[in-house]
Amino acid sequence: MKEKNIMQNMLLEKARLFEQDAEQQISASDRPCFHLSSRVGWMNDPNGFSFFNGQFHLFYQYHPYSNAWGPMHWGHAVTADLLRWDYLPAALAPETAADNRGCFSGSAITVENADGTAAHLLMYTGLVQAGADGAAQTLLQQQCLALGDGLNYRQLEANPVLTQADLPEGYSPLDFRDPKLFRTANGSYYAVIVGRKPDGLGSILLFESADAKAWSFHSVLAENAGQLGKMWECPDLLQMAGNAALLFSVQDNLATDQHTHSGDCTMYYLGKFDEATGDFAPESLH
């Protein structure tokens, strides 16, 4: 077991050493004044924006070795005022059997350790190669967890915690990603995750857990009937004053009126979410 842990830490340590050295070549004047840029290399989707141990944490999709897209890591930065950011070492590298083709988008929340202390829990999509058909590789998407103290994170040995076996019948594991975690008033946990239906269109799935570690499918929150593009991505569920907003990014949308955009865009349903039952009742689309 010790040898396995050492091997799993090698890619992360390599990334941390590289970014520490490479950032010396970037002057402060080369960076944006207010907007967070990657410590080095490539960045895209912001992930895991959360407040933990007195600081705001923001992770991001990250390829430290190039300014082009590559095997996804998680970069990491913190701030006290949302204006001035401090870089922390890379949080995740694609180095386990559950994520060796990339640590993709996800979210973060605070949970309790067994001793009652606070821990930072990351839930992210891990990619693995399932096989190859000629030059085309088949990459499966599955959900993984990492637990940390705000600086160092450990991918759980139980990963992946959600796989193709947990999807509704006919759903594709090739488009099963972008988990957004949240805790309910009674202390249980939900995660909204996008999935691809048998007809190739996107939907938003709800998964549940009593302890944020063992997960199971609960229900379909919303699904594309063909009127809102094709695949959906990056869901979120926000609740305020008895109302709920279910956000998602739409791919390949064809606008039919002045209320939507053609191409890729973000939309949301306003409605009601019942935490006790996990049911979402949409009332309007924006």
Three-state DSSP class for 158? coil
User: Is 86 annotated in the active site?
Assistant: no
21, 45, 99, 252: the catalytic one is 45
The first and second tokens of residue 53, run together, are 């141990």
The answer to whether the beta carbons of residues 125 and 106 sit under 8 Å apart is yes
- Which residues, 6+ apart, have CB-to-CB distance to 232 below 8 Å? 194, 202, 203, 204, 224, 248, 249, 250, 251
Exposure of 203 by Cβ count < 10 A (0-12 exposed, 13-18 middle, 19+ buried)?
Answer: buried
Cα Rg of the chain, angstroms: 19
Q: Do you find a cis peptide bond into 160, omega within 30 degrees of 0?
A: yes
The strand ranges marked E within 149-242 are 153-155, 172-183, 189-196, 202-209, 216-223, 232-240
Catalytic residue numbers, as ranges: 45
